[in-house]
Amino acid sequence: MLRIARLCFAIPALLIAACASLAEGARPLTAFVGVTLITAYGEPHRENQTVLVRDDRILEVGDMGEVFIPWGSHEVDGGGRVLAPGLVDMHVHIFMPDDGVLFLANGVTTVRNMSDRAETIVLAAEIDAGTRPGPRIYSSTPIIDGPQADWENPRATRSADDMRRRIAELDNSEHVGVKLYENLSREAFVAGVEEARARQMQVYAHVPFSMSLSDVLALGIDSVEHLTGFDRALAPASQSSWDEQRWAEMDASRVAPVVREVAASGVWNDSTLITAIGARRAFADMQAAQAEPLYRYATPRLRAHWRAIQADEAAERDPAETWAVVQLAHAARLEVVRALHEAGAPLLFGTDAPQPFIYPGYSLHDEFALHLDAGLTPTDILRADTEGSANFLNEQGVFGRIEPGARADLLLLDRDPEADLSTLRAPQGVMAAGRWYDAVTLQRMLGDIAARIAAETAH
């Protein structure tokens, strides 16, 4: 204790509190030493830096040798490797306890959960308390939908009054936004937007069948999920009731005016390109999909659910024919995403994990790769995924940057991800809200998950 007191006497006031915390038995500080720092994607990199972290916040950033590291700190030798902001998946459904590890192992330190449930509330509390590893979770309300929902929906919302009552029930500190779905009436949907705004909640939506994309954009919602409603706006002559077929029949001459309208509205777009193409690719060859290494992370319950979805689709359409249409639809979506980006329409990056064969964490890298196909650069993608997501959630300066006061969500990487996105698939370590997991620890946790699922499957 005497040594700590003597050190504190001689150092700047900024670090006195750090020493006091150590003296009181708080969690030791962590210092990343000798790193090449990416403060934010798209900004110049800074070599030979030290980043000091206390609890869940970044305390100080500066040149190596100029940042005082208090006695007892945990030092991580950067060795010139890159320290970069953590990644964000802006459309997930996180509720299974092991999902947090899958996200962290892929550098995902923040997620937007798109339909809250009891299991998610418990999981988020455990992650916040540090008793379970995982990303920071921002949750919407449970899905609010109309009476023709595809799932059992005892709380169907039929009227504006129903909507207002439902949002009032769900308005609490756990929910940053309201999730409005596609079977709502126009009256109920409009009331949902108005009620959410009155309660200072964001609005995330599937464009309902009762309204057009233009109708929804005019209401000034916050985000359109999966580019819903775009297919009807881009293929007005289509007679198909299947969204993939409508995408495949897209009228290319409609792209420019629709995109101009979307960009002018300021509404954000979370295309989740991997959701449609990843699942349908797997459905076209289930044997190959089940032989993939990532399948070891799918629980028996999840595997059964995925097989049931595939069987339902196969009963309705031949999987090979479906895959052919989906590939055409995917090409159309890429064209629209390219146009949205060029027009300056704000983009979010989500995966909808764990939809069939969409794996938490892993599939975000696939989503990035698909956006490269759409013409975005790695810097475009990473800047939008990190700082862009923080701006969307009104959390500017909280995450997405490495600077004093920001949450300590950090990736230690072998290479510059703005030059090679693939390095993000194998981080050398991840810090989530100030908790450090090196690559060995992450791989051990992944191995434990795979072994446990294998044992459950064997029984």
CATH architecture of 88-392: Alpha-Beta Barrel (3.20)
DSSP structure class, residue 388? I
Q: Please, are residues 246 and 238 in contact by the beta-carbon 8 Å criterion?
A: yes
Q: What are the tokens at 283? A: 């459905």
> CB atoms < 10 A from the CB of 262, how many?
25
The number of C-alpha atoms within 13 Å of 250 and in the hemisphere containing its C-beta is 26
The CATH code that applies to domain 2-85+401-450 is: 2.30.40.10
Q: Is the fold of 2-85+401-450 the same as that of 88-392?
A: no
Residue 177 burial (10 A CB sphere; 0-12, 13-18, 19+): buried
Model confidence, pTM: 0.93
Pairwise CA distance, residues 326 & 129, whole Å: 43
CA–CA separation, 6 and 178 (whole Å) = 53
Question: Using CA atoms, how far apart are residues 417 and 122, in angstroms rounded to an integer?
Answer: 33
* pLDDT in single tens digits along all 459 residues of the chain: 222 222 333 334 344 444 444 443 456 799 999 999 999 999 999 999 999 999 999 999 999 989 999 999 999 999 999 999 999 999 999 999 999 999 999 999 999 999 999 999 999 999 999 999 999 999 999 999 998 765 555 578 999 999 999 999 999 988 999 999 999 999 999 999 999 999 999 999 999 999 999 999 999 999 999 999 999 999 999 999 999 999 999 999 999 999 999 999 999 999 999 999 999 999 999 999 999 999 999 999 999 999 999 999 999 999 999 999 999 999 999 999 999 999 999 999 999 999 999 999 999 999 999 999 999 999 999 999 999 999 999 999 999 999 999 999 999 999 999 999 999 999 999 999 999 999 999 999 999 999 999 999 987
For residue 457, count other CB atoms closer than 10 A to its CB: 12
DSSP single-letter state for residue 206: P
Close Cβ partners of 3 (under 8 Å, ≥ 6 residues apart): 71
Beta partners for residue 353, in sequence order: 92
In three-state secondary structure terms, 361 is: coil
Contact 297, 99 (CB under 8 A): no
pLDDT in tens, 251-266: 999 999 999 999 999 9
Using a 10 angstrom Cβ sphere, with 0-12 exposed, 13-18 middle and 19 or more buried, the burial of residue 370 is: buried
Residue 91 phi/psi, 5-degree rounding, is -155, 95
Question: What is each CA distance from 263 to 50, 347, 440, in whole angstroms?
Answer: 40, 10, 44
| CA separation for the pair 136, 15 (Å, rounded) | 27
Q: With b meaning 16 or more CB within 10 Å and e meaning fewer, what string describes 371-402?
A: beebebebebbbbbbbbbbbebbebeebbbbb
* Count of CB atoms situated within 10 Å of the CB of 232: 16
**From residue 142, how far is each of 181, 390, 448 by CA, in Å?**
10, 22, 31
Sequence ranges of the domains in the chain: 2-85+401-450, 88-392
> Locate tokens 């949450």: which residue?
407
Q: 325 phi and psi, to 5 degrees?
A: -65, -40
Amino acid in position 359: Y
Name residue 112's beta-bridge partners: 138
pLDDT of residue 28: 79
AA identity, residue 161:
D
